[in-house]
Structure 1
Amino acid sequence: MRLISINVLKEGMVVGRTIWNEAGHPLLHKDVIVTGRIVERLRELNIQYLYIDDKISAGIELEETVAPGKRIEAVKNMTKAFENVKKAKPIQTSYILDQQSKVIGLIVEDIMSSIVNSEEVLMVLTDAYLYDEYIYQHSFQVALYSVAIAKEMGYSYEDIRLIGMGAILHDVGKLLIPSEILLKPSNLTDEEYEEMKQHTRYGFDLLRNLHTVSLLVAHCAFQHHERIDGSGYPRGLVDFEIHPFAKIIAVADVFDALTSNRIYREKMLPSEAIAIIAEGYGKQFDTRVVDAFKRSIVHYANGTIVLLTDDRRGIISKQNHVDVTRPWVRIFEENGKMLEATYEMCLSDYPAVEIKKIETDFDGYTE
């Protein structure tokens, strides 16, 4: 299967991967033949990419680190837990959150069981799922990335668990932000933005007195928008003043924000978001965290069409676990001409060849 932009989806193409909704129900099944109505519906849902099956991508498979069923169940459980907190009276909010922390802890344990014991780099395919509540999907994703980074950095099992808890709860303060601000489809006013920034303090205040949650988790909520150059908020902390766990969650949080659909902009592909984070290397983000992040996350997902610097065109066929930035590519075109037979190459074996461009809008060879 291969990844294509909705812009080049046409009638007659074959869906390569099922798309699920937040209830765990399939919205579009694998192997369905695309119709004009399907194209229209996917545009209405703001789906930007999907996988199709075709001749040049035959045999290329995608295996998410967290199985679809486990992900859907985790987000459903998170939604219930957070909604219980959201519905509580202000005086009861911390008490209800304390009660729900066991559910949240079990979700973290499930995430860790999928990542800590795996030798694979983390692959997450967010466009295979649709969620009405962005905060819950986002919190789950940030926990995935944070746990993967912490594992790569060599943290102990207990520290990884705390980092996972901090990641899942990092945005809990947003439950106290008025929905007209949180879900506003246009730019926030200065006053609204200042209120939005208060979610870090609200989260800290909610978590710091819980009996079942470590104070370190509360500091993750408080500091995940701090930056090592002092440009972050709420307190403008610098490098040594920011807890190492919060530095991890800061990178995971930005990466997921960039690679997810938001009200005010479209998502980026992983390699594009990684490049943005790299611009903050040693400035906004801790160098050790960014290095570990780049080693632990898939840069180019299997099934992605790429144009190489020597003008060969191919499709990412499998990951290179020695260097995730230089995967295996199935070459199907040279000098603008389709090859009679494709062949595989690992970019690590060709140091002079780089990926020049990702081509999700490539519109050829779909028979």
Structure 2
Amino acid sequence: MRLVSTKSIQPGTTLAQTIYNDNGQVLIQKGLGLTERVIRRLINLGITYVYIKDELTDDIHIESPISEKLRMEASNTIKETFSKMRQDGYMNNSHILNKQGKKLTDIVQQIMEEIQNNSDTVSLLADIFVTDDYIFQHSINVTIYSIAIGIELGLSKKELSEIGTGAMLHDVGKVFIDQDILQKPDKLDSDEFEIIKSHTQLGYDFLRKQLDLPLLVAHCAYQHHERLDGSGYPRGIEGDQLHKYAKLIGVADVFDAVTSNRVYRDAKLPHEGLEVLYAGAIKLFDKEIVEAFKKSVAVYPNGLTVKLSDGRNGIVSQQNNHLCDRPIIRVFKENGMEVEPYEIDLATILNVTITSCNLES
């Protein structure tokens, strides 16, 4: 399968990866020949890129870090929990997590186990979901990334469980914010942005009252928008004043935010998301955490067409674990001429690098 920009797809192209809504229902089934109408629908749904079938990449696959069944269970549990909170309102919902907390903890434990048992690097491009409420899938994605980083850093099971729960609930304060502001497709004015920023305080105040949750989980909600240089919110704390869990979740949160499909902007590719993190390394983000993230995530995902520094063109066919920016490339063009495909391993050919990516179909 090959990763391409939705806007570049030609009618008749075959979809290689099923697209779901956040209830797990199939919106567009893989194997479908895409018509002009369906392509327009994909674009209107805010889907930036998809996987398509072609002969050169038929044997290239991308696997989700967690099973489809667990993804659906997590999505439904988060949706049920957050929707109930939103329905009851901020002042009347202190009992909800007492009922749902065990479900959320169990899901975090399952995510931990599946990531630990999966030797592949993390890539969420296989999971293309269309949702009316971004917070549901975002919460799951940030949990997956946070646990993957924690594993790379060698954290204990107890710490991974706390981080996973904190990540799952880091944006819970947004449940209590006016949805018209939260889902606004246009630029927020200063007053609206201040309302959005209040989700950190709202989340902290709500979670710290939950007797069955560690207080650290509340601090994850409180501090995940704080930055090392004090430029974050809500308190503008800096350096060692930030808890390590919040530093870690903050990195996962930013990466998922910029690489997720949104109706009002195109998603960045993983290597572009990583560039955002590196631009803020040391000043905004903990460099050790960014480095651990880089080792955990498929920077150049399978199926992505790339150009190499020596002028060759190829497609990423396989990952090298812990060297996620040095994958195995299936070369199909040299000096602008098509050649019989062959593979090179960038982990062993150190004088060749990826210089650009191509999403044209």
Give the TM-score normalised by the residue count of structure 2.
0.97
Please say which of residues 43-52 and 140-149 is displaced more in the overlay: 43-52
Aligned residues of 1:318 and 1:329 also touching (Cα < 8 A): yes
Q: What residue number does 2:357 align with?
A: 358
Q: Deviations over 1:63-93 (max 9, x none)?
A: 1111223212211121011111111144322
CA gap of 1:320–1:126, structure 2 versus 1, over 3 A, is: closer
* Long gaps (5+) in structure 2: none
Aligned residues of 2:314 and 2:330 also touching (Cα < 8 A): yes
Q: What residue number does 2:347 align with?
A: 348
List 4+ stretches of structure 1 deviating above 3 A. none
SS in 1 for 2:221: helix
The alpha carbon displacement at 1:288 in A equals 1.2
**One-letter identity of the residue aligned with 2:274:** I
Percent of aligned pairs with the same residue? 42
The alpha carbon displacement at 1:105 in A equals 1.1
The alpha carbon displacement at 1:322 in A equals 4.4
Q: Determine whether 1:106 maps to 2:101.
A: no
CA distance in 2, matches of 1:334, 1:220: 49
CA distance in 2, matches of 1:94, 1:204: 13
CA distance in 1, matches of 2:108, 2:169: 11
The alpha carbon displacement at 1:240 in A equals 0.7
* Long gaps (5+) in structure 1: none
CA distance in 2, matches of 1:77, 1:305: 36
Give the TM-score normalised by the residue count of structure 1.
0.95
The alpha carbon displacement at 1:126 in A equals 6.1
Q: Deviations over 1:29-52 (max 9, x none)?
A: 222222222212212212211111
Please say which of residues 253-262 and 112-121 is displaced more in the overlay: 112-121
**One-letter identity of the residue aligned with 2:260:** S
CA RMSD between the two structures: 1.3
Q: What residue number does 1:83 align with?
A: 83
Q: What residue number does 1:333 align with?
A: 333
Aligned residues of 2:46 and 2:265 also touching (Cα < 8 A): no
Please say which of residues 251-260 and 173-182 is displaced more in the overlay: 173-182
Alignment of 1:120-139 (within 5 A): 120-125=120-125, 128-139=128-139
Alignment of 1:40-59 (within 5 A): 40-59=40-59
CA distance in 1, matches of 2:274, 2:20: 26
Alignment of 1:214-363 (within 5 A): 214-339=214-339, 341-361=340-360, 363=361
CA gap of 1:152–1:216, structure 2 versus 1, over 3 A, is: same
SS in 2 for 1:3: strand
CA distance in 1, matches of 2:67, 2:118: 13
The alpha carbon displacement at 1:166 in A equals 0.4
**One-letter identity of the residue aligned with 1:357:** S
Q: What residue number does 1:74 align with?
A: 74
SS in 2 for 1:23: coil
Please say which of residues 327-336 and 83-92 is displaced more in the overlay: 83-92
Q: What residue number does 1:116 align with?
A: 116
Aligned residues of 1:48 and 1:127 also touching (Cα < 8 A): no
Aligned residues of 2:17 and 2:126 also touching (Cα < 8 A): no
**One-letter identity of the residue aligned with 1:145:** Y
Please say which of residues 309-318 and 40-49 is displaced more in the overlay: 40-49
Q: Deviations over 1:129-165 (max 9, x none)?
A: 2122101111111000000001111110011000000
SS in 1 for 2:281: coil
The alpha carbon displacement at 1:188 in A equals 1.3
SS in 2 for 1:15: coil
CA distance in 2, matches of 1:40, 1:348: 39
SS in 2 for 1:11: coil
